[in-house]
Structure formats: C-alpha cells, structure tokens
Structure 1
C-alpha cells in the first residue's frame, strides 16, 4: 500500500469466527496504541486502523491480529510512501482475498474514491480433502466410495479401475455435488475387488489420483457355499465310511459336523471318517461358517446288515391253539396252531 506524506489512510481487516475475540494492530512487530495520528475501531465483523497526517515514520509492515479460544489469525500489508501513488500490496495471496477493492484519498480539501478492477484472487488447483477408509463388503451388498475435494471451479471428477473410466449405469451411480464426489456400486461382486482411482481436474491442475481400494487392504467377502451337491450313502455294516464335501468362500471358514441334530465331531476339515456300525445309521449335516455367513448340507447314511437272532423276546400268552410274542415295542407276532 502506497501513501503520500500528510494524507489520511485507513486499513480494514474483515473478521469471522467465534466470540469473544481479542483484536490488535501491530507495526514492525510492535503493538500499536492510539495517539493523535493513530485511531483504531473494532466490531464483530471488521477491524479498522486510521492514520491521520501520515509521516514517513508511519511506513512499514502493518498486521491485524485476531485471537479467540480456537486460535490466532493474522492479516498483513505494507505501507510505502512514494510520490503520489497509492498501492495495496498483498504479500501472500489466498482465495479469501478475492473481491472488489476501492482506493480512497482524503485531505483537508475533501476526499475521492477509485474502485479497482475485480480481483479474482488465486486460482487453486484441486486437492483431495477427505477420502474413503478401507472398506470390506460382503458379496451382493451395496458399497459407496466418497471423496471430498477443494479448489477453484470448475472441477471435473472421474472414477476409474484398471484404466477403465466409470459412468452411471444400471450397476454404478456417480454423483458430484457440493465438492463431494461419490461412486456407488449397487450390488458388489467378486470381480469388483481391485484398485480404484479418483481424479479431480480444473483449469490450473490435476490432483494426484488417490487409491481408495486395493487387493491388499480390502476385498469383496463371499459367504461359504458347497461346490457339489451331497448324495446319500449306502454301506454295509463293518465297512469304513468317509463323508466328504467341497466348500468355497472367503477364508477363514470353520466347519462342524452334526448327526441327527447333535454335534458329533469337532473338526475344521471337510471330511469325516468312522468305522461303520449299526448306530452310525442316520442323517448327517455339515455347517460351514465365515464372517459373511454360513451354509449347511445334509447327507443320509444308510447302514445295511444281515438279519440276526432276535433278542429280548417276550411271550404275551400261550393257549392250546395259539401264542403271542413281543419282538419289540412296535412288532408283535401271533401264532395259531392247527391240527390235521
């Protein structure tokens, strides 16, 4: 900022933030106090420093400092005396400096103002402010990836996988609103696992593509399932029996065997061996589980045996012409005798 000796000049700093707020003006690292040349005024939205009858000693770097419980912010400018030119110099431009500036000059005879051309500030390349955490999803479930970006308009975004750019379709939905880009997969499948890239571009640059999913850190989880249908088994008593099945799904998979509703074997294998006896006849079930779900299959084992001698026979009665025998609770034999 340039100034003429003897003139009056004002510096204004616009404010925002939580109250209460402490404000001060600093010149060349020394805090200013009011005197006949220096006047300061403050409100909740601005801080104004007014210099009257400026002298060469007033030249230097001026800083407006605002402080509250959340932190401290500073805004600086430099006042230079040079001929009859007044110049405002911003040492480090930011997007917040965009706007319309007016130069005002005042002396004893009056005052005048001259608006400057609209200053659009600094055009910022896009940057990614927030990106997805590592995601694990079960096969068939929907999944949404989101990236929040910042930068000067207009920002163009795109999502891609293995070099192939995505567009909205029956399977995918893409949305970009309020600087938030989302990529939605309606029903995730195993082939959706892979490396996804997000990219944002504007007129001055392109952000570095961000890897949001990869094989090492996340993948599609698949519940267990049986590759082949289980068939019933018919064996002869005394012969060895092996029950086997083939299971697929995302590790780790735990396996348990059951017989007639009760757990019969603690094992993590997909096969079960046992010496076949009559009591092994029945309905067997295998249950496979992982973090995404479980699957169950059943198999009927029918044990064949030759007839043997009856045991625990009970005679109900005997008469001259007949008798009745109980073989078990559900089988009764009745005999009649005939003479010829």
Structure 2
C-alpha cells in the first residue's frame, strides 16, 4: 500500500492484492487498533483486491493504517501512513528574565508533512529581526530568541504549528507561554529621619517600585536586624516596614534597608536617635547646686544623671 495525503472532508482509499489457498482472512487496522465497518469506514472486495475506504477524513483520522492477511499457513501485514496533524511533544516553559538578558523559548513538534511554525505575541505575528531570531529545524525542533529583553517584551507568547491536517498550539493549558521581564527594585520613597523616645514605639517605612522576586534585609550599624517578638519586619504591597514595639537606648544607630532581586539591588538609610525621658525631681533639704536654698526643683534627663549629685 502507498502512503496517502488527504484533504480534510474528502475520502481516502487503501488497496492491496490478496491471494492464497485457502482464502486468507483480511483485517484492517489503524494504529494497531482493528477497524470495523461504520458510517465512514467501508471494506470492499473485488477479486484479489481488498480496499479500505474512508468516506470522509478529518485531522483526527491521520495515522498508520495496516492490513493483515492470514490463513492456516501464513500471516502477512502491509502498512500505509496517512499524514499526521501537528502535535507538540512538550509544553513551552514560561520565562522570567532581567532586562538585557536573552529570552529563549524552545519547542519540539511532530506532524506529517512537517508543520509550519509561527510565533505570536498577543495577537501580533512575530517576524525575524535584528533583535529576534527564529529557527525552525527539519527535525521539528526550533526556538525563538529575543536577544536583549526589555520591559515592552513582557507578555503572552503563542507558538502555532499547522499543516493540511490541522493546527496545534503549545504552552500552558490556555495554549500560551509567558515572558516576564523584571527590573531591579528602586526606592520611590526612601527612609526618612526618625527621632524616638525610650519606651515608645519606633516605626521605619520605605516604598519600592518592584516586588517581583524581591527580598528585603535590614542592618543597624552594619549588623543584621532579625525578626523577633520585639522587632517586626514586613514587606507588603511594595512597602517595607520595621517596627520596634518598645524603644531602648541600644536601638539608636544607622539603619540600612536593602532590597534585591535577580536584576540587582538598591539601599536607603537613616539615622535613628533615641532620647531619654524627662522627669521632675523634687527635693527637700540642701542641694550642692544651690547652697542658699533649702529646697529645689530640678528637671533632669535620665541620660545625664552622672553629672548631678545629691546629698
């Protein structure tokens, strides 16, 4: 039998000559599955010629057809292959790239005849250019290479393969794949100056323009600040915060917030000053500050007690 190329909706005929004594039995198969008479599949017999007639073929009818003839002395099988509609052997993985990197989508497709492959971004067809290389190999493999991705290259890409037996699209379940171009984070609102009081809460806040794959770290005077029951670190909706519930004198210093992703990093800083509380201290008696008074009222800062003496 000869391989056949068919047009969708038309009929296809496979014929083979059969002879033998006793009269052989004839069976027809599609992809190793035996065929039986149906509204579109007919078996014809005229002398030694046996024919399989497919009355109306569609892309799903493409495949390998065979005929087995046998009697008690021997068995023989002949094959014929119709065209095959395109089929991607694996999905095309989505990509996340930083600006300036290469974005390469690869595919492998089967089909007979070899399918024609097209790439689309959204609904627009992509043509080869100085920044975009498209390769379709004779073995059914190929790729598209965007040599230096930019933010405008982000989006949904579709790879389509087609021949006269049908069309296939590969990618996610929606037949698409995605390119996400990320930029390094930058501060749109850096840390501001902060003055805190012992025992009060301390709140530091800044905002960035990118949160894709971004990690955040804090340091105080070069030492890493860790999350703890007394220190809450949060990164949400592109806003970075550090909250100390009860500030102590040791919380003063230079705070640096660093945000980073695959594309790079950025930092901002502020100096935190912590002041002691002020108290009114009343005395009855003599004071070394004023030997002429028998009573005194002093306003003393808790961080300056070392310079005041009482008796």
TM-score (norm 2): 0.52
Aligned residues: 226
CA deviation digits over 1:253-277, x for unaligned, max 9? Answer: 5533210111335211423356888
Give the structure, 1 or 2, with the largest relative contact order (CA under 8 Å, sep 6 or more): 2
CA radius of gyration, larger in:
1
Tell me the distance in 2 between the aligned counterparts of 1:123 and 1:59.
25
- Give the one of 207, 210, 234 matched to 1:268: 234
Tell me the distance in 2 between the aligned counterparts of 1:221 and 1:250.
12
Alignment correspondent of 2:284: none
Alignment correspondent of 1:286: 257
How far residue 285 of structure 1 moved from its aligned partner, in angstroms, is 1.1
SS of 1:131's partner is coil
Tell me the distance in 2 between the aligned counterparts of 1:215 and 1:251.
24
Tell me the distance in 2 between the aligned counterparts of 1:94 and 1:126.
7
Tell me the distance in 2 between the aligned counterparts of 1:125 and 1:96.
9
Tell me the distance in 2 between the aligned counterparts of 1:303 and 1:75.
86
Alignment correspondent of 1:138: 97
Tell me the distance in 1 between the aligned counterparts of 2:176 and 2:142.
24
Alignment correspondent of 1:148: 108
Alignment correspondent of 1:243: 204
The yes-or-no answer on 1:182 pairing with 2:147 is no
SS of 2:268's partner is strand
- Give the one of 49, 73, 83 matched to 1:124: 83
The yes-or-no answer on 1:87 pairing with 2:58 is no
Does the 8 Å contact 1:59/1:81 carry over to 2?
A: no
Which runs of 5 or more residues in structure 1 are unaligned? Answer: 2-49, 65-71, 99-120, 313-340
Tell me the distance in 1 between the aligned counterparts of 2:177 and 2:117.
24
Does the 8 Å contact 1:158/1:198 carry over to 2?
A: yes
- Matched ranges for 1:1-340 at <5 A: 54-55=20-21, 57-61=22-26, 82=47, 86-87=48-49, 89=51, 124-140=83-99, 141-153=101-113, 155-178=115-138, 179-202=140-163, 204-212=164-172, 220=180, 222=182, 225-228=185-188, 230=190, 233=193, 242-251=203-212, 253-264=214-225, 266=227, 267-269=233-235, 270-272=240-242, 280-288=251-259, 292=262, 295-301=265-271, 303=273
Tell me the distance in 1 between the aligned counterparts of 2:62 and 2:123.
35
Tell me the distance in 1 between the aligned counterparts of 2:53 and 2:269.
81
Gap change, CA 1:58 and 1:94, over 3 Å in 2: farther
Gap change, CA 1:244 and 1:166, over 3 Å in 2: same
Tell me the distance in 2 between the aligned counterparts of 1:206 and 1:299.
60
Gap change, CA 1:298 and 1:59, over 3 Å in 2: closer
Runs of 4+ in 1 over 4 A off after TM superposition: 72-76, 78-81, 90-98, 211-219, 234-242, 251-254, 273-281, 302-305, 307-312
CA RMSD of aligned residues (A): 5.0
CA deviation digits over 1:183-210, x for unaligned, max 9? Answer: 22334445444332222233x2431433
